[in-house]
């Protein structure tokens, strides 16, 4: 990722109900806890009906706008593979893509407006990007709740940020400690599953 004295641009995308906006909020909280200036913005299209959701986060010494300019994103986090493919134009050369391959077909496909890509991972890799693909949905289900997918994805991001992974982990756990303390342990497990999945995928590549 970028050095700590530069602005880091992260684009998170997926569909409604996957926790895209919550994950971005936690990322912003982690950055703020270290004294970074952080700004974010979201676009949610019928999110309650699994519509497209995108969230921009920018943090650094001074950030004037939350909007990422096309071609300048450092990290694309795709909670859904086809959505990751739709947003690759936002990435700079050498950027990193983290993507969940657990298939959740967007409504625009179900109603016939778009075809679901045969292999979105291969299409993104063909662009020469650094892609790490794994099944976050399956990992969440291993722990008994598909909603843990957003914590799995946060864990996947943890070692691709310009600050220690422990900072993000503590931001995740603090969120649950204050709201649903009974979920702290399972979210700790989900976070570590995401970190491990990316590390293992990188070794296998």
What distances in angstroms separate CA 106 from CA 79, 127, 130, 134, one per listed residue? 12, 23, 25, 19
Is 99 inside a domain boundary? Answer: yes
Is 181 inside a domain boundary? Answer: yes
Say how many domains are in the chain.
1
Domain holding 118, by residue range, is 8-204
pLDDT at residue 198, as a whole number: 93
pLDDT at residue 84, as a whole number: 93
> Would you say residue 47 has pLDDT above 80?
no
Beta bridge partners of 82: none
43: left (phi over 0), alpha (psi -120 to 50) or beta: beta
Is 23 inside a domain boundary? Answer: yes
3-state SS, residue 79: coil
> Would you say residue 4 has pLDDT above 60?
no
Is 2 inside a domain boundary? Answer: no
Strands 8-15 and 52-60: antiparallel
Please, which pLDDT band fits residue 43 given cuts at 50, 70 and 90?
Answer: confident
Please report the DSSP string for 5-40 in residue order.
TS-EEEEEEEETTS-HHHHHHHHHHHHHHTT-EEEE
Q: For the purposes of burial, counting CB atoms within 10 Å of the CB of 70, is it exposed (0-12), middle (13-18) or buried (19 or more)?
A: exposed
Residue with tokens 């979105």: 120
Please, which pLDDT band fits residue 70 given cuts at 50, 70 and 90?
Answer: very high
Is 174 inside a domain boundary? Answer: yes
Is 194 inside a domain boundary? Answer: yes
Is 3 inside a domain boundary? Answer: no
pLDDT at residue 3, as a whole number: 43
pLDDT at residue 195, as a whole number: 96
CATH assignment at residue 185: 3.40.920.10
% of the chain at pLDDT higher than 70: 89
pLDDT at residue 85, as a whole number: 93
pLDDT at residue 33, as a whole number: 96
Cα atoms in the 13 Å half-sphere on the side-chain side of 161 = 27
3-state SS, residue 73: strand
**Per-residue exposure over 89-108, b if at least 16 CB sit within 10 Å of its own CB, e if not:** ebbbeebbbbbbbbebebbb
| Average pLDDT of the segment spanning 12-41 | 93
pLDDT digits (tens, 9 = 90+) for 94-149: 999 999 998 776 666 666 667 778 899 999 999 999 999 999 999 999 999 999 99
pLDDT at residue 109, as a whole number: 66
């Amino acid at each position: 990722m970028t050095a700590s004295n530069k602005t880091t641009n992260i684009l998170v995308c997926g569909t409604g109900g996957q926790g895209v906006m919550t994950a971005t909020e936690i990322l912003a909280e982690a950055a703020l806890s270290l004294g970074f200036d952080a700004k974010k913005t979201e676009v949610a299209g019928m999110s309650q009906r699994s519509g497209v959701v995108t969230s921009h986060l920018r943090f650094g010494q001074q950030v004037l706008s939350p909007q990422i300019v096309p071609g300048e994103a450092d990290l694309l986090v795709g909670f859904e593979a086809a959505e990751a493919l739709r947003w690759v134009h936002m990435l700079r050369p050498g950027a990193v893509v983290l993507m969940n391959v657990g298939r959740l077909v967007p409504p625009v496909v179900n109603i016939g407006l778009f075809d679901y890509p045969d292999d979105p991972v291969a299409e993104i890799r063909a662009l020469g990007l650094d892609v790490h693909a794994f099944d976050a949905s399956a990992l969440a289900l291993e722990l008994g709740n598909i909603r843990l997918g957003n914590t799995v994805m946060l864990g996947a991001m943890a070692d691709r940020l310009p600050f220690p992974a422990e900072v993000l982990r503590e931001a995740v756990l603090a969120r649950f400690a204050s709201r649903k303390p009974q979920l702290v342990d399972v979210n700790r497990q989900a976070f570590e599953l995401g970190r491990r999945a990316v590390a293992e995928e990188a070794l296998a590549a």
